[in-house]
Amino acid sequence: MDLSAAAARLRKFEGSVSHMYRCTGGEVTVGVGHAMAAAADAARLVWEIDGVAATAEQAQADFQKVAAAQKGLVASAYAGLTQCRMSDDAISGVLEADLQAFEAQLAAALPRWSSYPEPVQEALFDMAFNLGLGGLKKFPRLLAAVNAGDWTTAAAQCHRQGIGETRNQETAALFLQAAS
């Protein structure tokens, strides 16, 4: 799979945020959808405060403030709670590592992963990154169509609730690209 195409798609639809925020699922997140389960996860990343390296303690303190905040706000609403910021280079590094790890998880979860056409891999990757692997598995008709190589049905079954229609249309278009 072309990880650079996946990165571009994720940046387009997930956005890129330099400070910690709570995603729609409530997880403390940074960059391009990089969720952190605990303050220790934040402490392992590279942060800056006004151009100076932040300490692990500062990152953990920001994590705690964001984790305690109301969920469901737009990402920018959390900016005032935090001092730590991640540079574009640091965000790109985290995203690259996330993409590689997530593709390996998809390959393990979908035994025929490597046999799928590239557009199908990109569509499934986008859906799984957005929904989580568990969320993707809640699309049994889609997965059955994928396993059958029925890309037209897969395109019809890939609609997600709660995301922009443009993203759904682009995901369906990837399945249809494989059909042609």
**What is the distance between the alpha carbons of residues 17 and 95, in angstroms, rounded to a whole number?**
12
Domains of the chain by residue range: 13-92, 110-179
Tokens of 135: 């969320």
Give me the pLDDT at residue 72, please: 85
Name which of 167, 164, 141 is nearest 154 in CA terms: 141
For the chain, 180 residues long, give each residue's pLDDT as a single digit of tens: 889 999 999 999 989 999 999 988 899 999 999 999 999 999 999 999 999 999 999 999 999 999 999 998 999 999 999 999 999 999 999 999 999 999 999 999 999 999 999 999 999 999 998 888 999 999 999 999 999 999 999 999 999 998 889 999 999 999 999 998
**What is the distance between the alpha carbons of residues 80 and 76, in angstroms, rounded to a whole number?**
8
Neighbours of 65 (CB within 10 A): 16
Tokens of 30: 């940074």
**What is the distance between the alpha carbons of residues 145 and 140, in angstroms, rounded to a whole number?**
9
